[in-house]
Amino acid sequence: MVIDKIFFTIITPIFAFAVGLSFMMIKLKVSARIERRYGPPIIQPIYNILKLLLKEENISHGVIFSLGPVIALAGSILTVLFIPYAGIKLFTGSGDLIALMYIMVIGSLGMALGAGESANPNASIGISRALTLMLGYDLPFVIIIISVVLYYHTTNLADIVAAQAHGHWTLWSLPLSAIVGFVVAYGALGEHPFDIITAPHEVATGPMVEYGGKHLGFLVINHAFHIYIEIALFVDLFLGGATNVLWFYVKMFAVFFIMMLFDEVYPRFKIDDAVRFFWKWPTIVALISLIIVLVK
Amino acid sequence: MDRLTEEQAKTIANMLRKRSLWMIHYCTGCGAIELPPTMTSRYDMSRFGLAPFVTPRQSDILLVTGYVNIKTLRRIITVYEQMLDPKYVIGFGSCPINGGVYWDSYSVIKRLDRYIPVDLYIAGCMPRPEAVITAFRTLMDMIDQGKADGYKRYKRNLAYYKENQRKVLG
């Protein structure tokens, strides 16, 4: 039993990284085809990460600056271990959904800590945008989590997945919550129109502006984990998880493919417009969904 | 399994580096206008793993696109020194080679190579996107063979470059 736990604790982050990386690869090709380009080779993200890790010189602005990407990556790996996938549940216990909501923030906070030390104005603006955007999408996110928890009478993510077995997905029983969950996951992923944080034309990749070399390599790896976390959580909460790895991957890919298409057509919000959007429509719809759950 | 020798490790590193070159999108002079077609759908330089980036810390290639003012030179040197090793410089168009049409101007430097080490020049006024992509391919071959060592030259001859920079910048 203990051996099993240790084995899956090692294998789960590797699986999550592989899934996130494969999505990054596919996204490059799909966006290229939509823009009528040939696009980079499919394993370009691997080249990028290895090149960044092989840089001969690394500049640090202080201890926390170097620790920032490590904290972000550690937070992401911890979050990954809390998410059950394909029948494998590692750290699940009662109340793990609430714990997950707190742990998910560590990644962003680690990056904010590190980027803050670089004292670059672009980085400061990027951090303030990241935390403001988080304030925006966390409100509807918490409301839909409450409605899902009330619907299933449990805060255990593995129990929620088990309750959705045989096609009784939350997507069918709580469709409004599922729509809001999709928008929230999409906003947390930081794709267009919510790529305010890293907007290259405005704040020069925001928090990452002073990062280069190995630090940036860690942040790119962290991004792969980030993609996995947001989509795996959506699949677990609303699409009923999965019984095997392949089916889980197919469900995640379906969600990510729709997100890719949204990413290609939208321009960028301003930060106040983004927060206004999140606090208006997704919040209203989430509240309606919560009332439906309470009345039922 | 034998341990990798230093030479083999270097070969592998160069192989990976040439496949992922990030270019800082910092433009001086008129050459900048040739870069958007090179980046976008028509010529699509991302086929070769090249991508435009916005900060010096993340970038590998510095393209000096066109004539360099004395004022601009100060910024170019700052950007170049902020980039992380290994880094490469491409002189774009005839102006960084010999001053081009600004050969007798009082405020334009004539040879970029005297101030920062240039790995590769693209001749022409203006070089078309095809020429730009050929230059990138040549740079990739140079990296593969270990010939693109401008950043090492800069460290080795720092006194020479600093002396030349001081003469024009004061």
User: What is the set of domains in chain B, with CATH numbers?
Assistant: 19-169 (3.40.50.12280)
Check CB contact under 8 Å for A40 and B41. Answer: no
Contact A57 B57 (CB under 8 A): no
pLDDT digits 0-9 by tens, A202-225: 888 878 888 888 888 888 999 899
Asked if B44 lies within 8 A of A38 by C-beta distance, the reply is yes
- Could you tell me the pTM of the whole model? 0.88
- Please name the residue ranges forming H helices in chain A: 2-34, 44-53, 63-82, 96-117, 121-152, 157-163, 170-173, 175-189, 200-203, 213-238, 245-265, 271-295
- Over residues A241-258, the pLDDT tens digits come to 777 888 888 988 999 999
pLDDT digits (tens, 9 = 90+) for B138-155: 999 998 888 888 888 888
- The reported pLDDT for the residue numbered A4 is 78
Query: Is ipTM strictly over 0.90?
Result: no
Higher pLDDT, A108 or A187: A187
- What's the rounded Cα separation, in Å, for the pair B42 and B39? 8
Residues paired with residue B52 on neighbouring β-strands, in sequence order: B23
> Alpha helices of B20-120 — where are they, by DSSP H?
35-39, 70-82, 95-98
Tell me how far CA of residue B86 lies from CA of A51, A58, A131, B132, B160, in angstroms. Answer: 10, 11, 34, 21, 20
* Mean pLDDT (whole number) for A279-296: 89
pLDDT computed for residue B111 by the predictor:
86
pLDDT in tens, A49-82: 998 888 887 888 888 888 888 888 998 898 888 8
CA dihedral A195, A200, A205, A211 (to 10 degrees): 150
Q: Of the candidates A105, A85, A89, which has an alpha carbon nearest to the alpha carbon of residue A18?
A: A85
Q: Does B5 touch chain A (CB under 8 A)?
A: no
In Å, how far is B152's CA from the nearest CA of chain A? Answer: 11
Q: Enter the tokens of residue B142.
A: 């140079």
DSSP symbols for A178-193: HHHHHHHHHHHHT-TT
pLDDT band at B2; cut points 50, 70, 90: low
Quick: pLDDT tens for A156-201. Answer: 888 888 888 777 788 888 888 889 989 998 888 888 888 888 877 7
For chain B, the 3-state helix, strand and coil shares in percent, each to the nearest 5, are: 55, 15, 35
pLDDT at B64: 87
Q: Give the one of A38, A58, A204 whose C-beta lies nearest to B84's C-beta.
A: A58
CB-CB under 8 Å, B84 with A213 = yes
pLDDT range class, residue A269, cuts 50, 70, 90: confident
- Which conformational region is residue A12 in: left (phi greater than 0), alpha (psi within -120 to 50 degrees), or beta? alpha
Output the pLDDT for position A92. Answer: 66
What is the amino acid identity at position A290? L
Q: Does A53 touch chain B (CB under 8 A)?
A: no
The structure tokens listed for A198 are 């890293």
Measured between CA atoms, the residue of chain A closest to residue B82 is A59
**Amino acid in the structure at residue B105:** S
Measured CA to CA in angstroms, residue B163 lies from A101, B95, B106, B157 at distances of 57, 22, 19, 10
Identify the pLDDT of residue A23: 92
| Interatomic CA distance for residues B122 and B26, integer angstroms | 17
CA distance A45 to chain B (A): 9
Does the structure show a pLDDT above 60 at B102? Answer: yes
Judged by a CB distance cut-off of 8 A, whether residue A205 touches chain B is: yes
What is the DSSP secondary structure assignment for residue B51, as one 8-state letter? E
CB contact under 8 A, A216 and B58: yes
pLDDT computed for residue A22 by the predictor: 92
- Which chain B residues in 81-120 lie under 8 Å from chain A, judged by CB atoms? 83-86
Residue range B26-35, pLDDT digits in tens? 878 788 888 8
